[in-house]
Chains A and B, each alone.
Chain A
Amino acid sequence: MNTTLRVRDIHYSYPDGREALAGVNLDVGQGERIAILGPNGAGKTTLAHHLNGIRRADEGLVEVDGIELDDSTIAAIRRKVGLVFQNPDDQLFMPTVEQDVGFGPANLGAAVEELPAIVADALAMVGASGLERRVPHHLSGGERRRIALATVLSMSPAILVLDEPTSGLDPGGRRDLIEVLSELEMAQVIITHDLPFALELCPRAVIMDGGQIVAEGKTTEILSDTELLGRHRLEMPYRLR
């Protein structure tokens, strides 16, 4: 399998000296969906921010589609890695849905005349056609989450990185999201505390704790190891154990 994302031994400390990533290694194959599980403060979001250069590692290597992340490639990497933030209110910052979904492609140089078609395609992928003229703060939580996804899909990324995509969604919104994500062909890195969600979407999972990847394997195996989960403050819902 071709590797879309290669992360080698990245280290990162916050300005206050706290070490957030202590040597992370990760490979994601083309079109593969992988879940990153782990307790709060494990460094999952920090890792996500490294994958498209929002934060830069103190040492180590991030490679997307064979391109190594550095100052000269950062624009190309950001085009390839679509990062969906935890809170859609941080992701949706333009006055209308249409302008927000068009923001990325416009930055990448799409012509003004091409934008409507690109926007319509991205909205169709997330089942949100017809919301073009809406104002982000007038949308429901589930709609906002799907529009946030559309804002990166419109950039045709090679890999999606989703930070806690189900937080704050009702079961219906969560189901819609599962359907949308399972239809997409690009590789996906899904950071989540929602273990059944991970199980349903991702064949492979890793557990992160203390800034390192401490376990890696088939999601079914990882999630059936109650002792492993317990050690890292994770737990499957009672009925699914």
Chain B
Amino acid sequence: MGAGHGHALYVHEHSPIHRIAPETKVLAVLLFVVAVAITPREAVWAFGIYAVIELVAMRVARIPASFVLSRLVAVIPFVIFALFLPFVGQGKDEEFLGLAISSAGVWAMWNILAKALLGATASILLAATTETPDILKGFSRLKVPGVITAIASFMIRYLEVIAGELGRMRTAMTARGYDPRWLWQARPIASSAGTLFIRSYERGERIYEAMLSRGYAGSMPHVSGETATPRQWIAAMIAPAIALVVAATALVIV
């Protein structure tokens, strides 16, 4: 609740990448990620080129490296999983610091690490240069079905409301001396999750009533604003075009 939240994912700047129409950026990121995903893992050089493309985009958009690194924390669970692969992979055919490791496992680790980090960085750059409502506009101009963008927009709109509600419930518990340390004290948390679900469900009903009373008849109204110019499309497609050429080359060579 309350005013003055910062945006966790958006960096306020006035770079060319910030100004370009959102649908071009959404599609560019999507294509870039596809290129990364289809690149064979043995083409290490290709991943190097992708990383350079992202670094250039980061510089042009004036996004600090520290910002991107701190958001990359989100992929740590995958990284940890990947780090185990060389030790649990099939056929221990190599040795590393006296431990038997599997070369197939090493390749699998590299594959996950490289693709997860490159993909996450691309989406972080999108979020850092495009405000959330604009990303949704971008999706809807790319003809993503209205139901899906509506669900996404409600989720974004109410995530903070529900998080605030959860926060107040926890405060209320703490205020009455609840200080869980052990697993068997978790019962109130479980029941509060249930309460939160019921409250959110009821809120959904009230929101639907609010929508009805403003003439909602089953489909969300169209979004306004200027759409992308051909020049913006061309500019936005430079990075994914390079990436797709690189991916295609890698697929042929390997």
Contacts and interface: CB of A to CB of B under 8 A. Distances in A.
Whether A associates with B in a native complex is: yes
Contact of A106 (B156, B157, B213, B221): B221
Interface in B79-95: none
A138 B4 contact: yes
Given A94-B153, A106-B222, A138-B5, A99 B133 contact: yes
A52 interface: yes
A78 B212 contact: yes
- Report whether over half of chain A's contact residues are helix, strand or loop; otherwise say mixed: helix
A143 B2 CA distance: 11
Given A85-B206, A90-B206, A103-B221, A95 B133 contact: yes
Nearest to B219: A107
B241 to A, nearest CB: 30
Contact of B215 (A79, A113, A135, A139): A79
Interface of B is mostly: helix
B147 interface: no
A3 interface: no
B214 A102 contact: no
A1 to B, nearest CB: 26
B160 A137 contact: yes
Interface of B: 1-5, 132-133, 136, 153-154, 156-158, 160-161, 203, 206-207, 209-217, 221-224
Contacts of B207: 90, 93
A151 to B, nearest CB: 7
Contacts of B136: 95
Nearest to B152: A95
Contacts of B160: 137
Contacts of A138: 3-5
Interface string A102-142: 11101110001101100000000000000000011111110
Given A85-B206, A93-B157, A99-B223, A139 B3 contact: yes
Interface string A138-178: 11110100000001100100000000000000000000000
A95 B224 contact: no
A115 B224 contact: yes
A85 B210 contact: yes
Contacts of A102: 221, 224
Contact of B157 (A112, A137, A139, A151): A137
17 contacts: A49-B209, A78-B214, A87-B206, A89-B161, A90-B207, A90-B210, A93-B158, A95-B133, A99-B133, A106-B221, A107-B221, A115-B224, A116-B224, A137-B160, A138-B5, A140-B2, A143-B3
Nearest to A134: B3
A181 to B, nearest CB: 19
A95 B217 contact: no
Contacts of B214: 78, 103-104, 107, 151-152, 155
Nearest to A115: B224
Contacts of B5: 137-138
A75 interface: yes
A83 interface: yes
A54 to B, nearest CB: 5
Contacts of B132: 95, 135
CB-based closest 4 A-B pairs: A106-B221, A107-B215, A95-B133, A104-B214
B130 to A, nearest CB: 12
Nearest to A55: B209
B124 to A, nearest CB: 20
A52 B3 CA distance: 32
A140 B216 CA distance: 26
B4 A112 contact: no
A155 B1 CA distance: 28
Interface string A62-93: 00000000000001001101010101011111
A93 B154 contact: yes
Contacts of B203: 89-90
Contacts of A30: none
Contacts of B153: 94-95
